């Protein structure tokens, strides 16, 4: 039937970076853990990025996932906020890459489509479907729930030809 693959989904943010871990075996998904890494919003940017790095590194070390998935940055009207989010996203991609994991990226609409069936939807719909797909799932923040959705999206897409080729590179 195959082997169990442990996937970490990461929802990057400078204040709160959500993470969620699922195990995928064939078409079956199982909740493992989720949570939120927080940075001190009164600290300097470099310090906050270090806090995110250290928190994610600790989680990866403890959970030992096989693959990682990160949500792509959306561009909003506030260029400074978008830039800071991009820096947090860089940390979210760097930590698993340093651990030797291939990091997949998914647009927010792709995550929504994989979880709720359409490319647009609100957070309540996503959270409800995460609970339907994994009844034992718990999450402390919206960011952790979103991270679980990212992991679910990756579990659905990881067998694609593009992903297999990327893993070989």
Hey, which residues are catalytic here? Answer: 11, 71, 143
Alpha helices in the chain (DSSP H): 45-63, 79-98, 108-116, 123-133, 142-157, 161-168
Residue 64 backbone class (left: φ over 0; alpha: ψ -120 to 50; beta: rest): left
Handedness of CA 111, 115, 121, 123 (dihedral sign): negative
Residues with Cβ < 8 Å from 27, sequence gap 6 or more?
none
Alpha helices in 70-122 (DSSP H): 79-98, 108-116
- Can you count the helices (H) and strands (E) in the chain? 6, 5
What span, in angstroms and rounded, lies between the C-alpha atoms of 55 and 138?
19
What span, in angstroms and rounded, lies between the C-alpha atoms of 153 and 130?
11
């Amino acid at each position: 039937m195959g082997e169990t693959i442990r996937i970490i989904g990461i929802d990057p943010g400078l204040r709160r970076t959500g993470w969620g871990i699922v195990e995928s075996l064939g078409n079956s998904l199982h909740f493992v853990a989720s949570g939120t890494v927080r940075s001190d919003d009164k600290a300097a940017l470099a310090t906050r990025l270090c806090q995110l790095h250290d928190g994610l590194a600790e989680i990866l070390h403890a959970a030992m996932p096989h693959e990682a998935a990160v949500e792509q940055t959306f561009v909003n009207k506030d260029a400074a906020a978008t830039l800071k989010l991009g820096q947090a996203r860089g940390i979210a991609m760097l930590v698993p890459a340093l651990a030797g994991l291939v990091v997949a990226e998914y647009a927010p609409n792709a995550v929504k489509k994989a979880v709720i069936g359409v490319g647009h939807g609100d957070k309540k719909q996503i959270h409800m479907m995460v609970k339907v797909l994994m009844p034992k799932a718990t999450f402390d923040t919206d960011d952790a729930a979103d991270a679980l959705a990212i992991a679910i999206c990756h579990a659905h897409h990881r067998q694609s030809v593009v992903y297999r080729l990327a893993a070989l590179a």
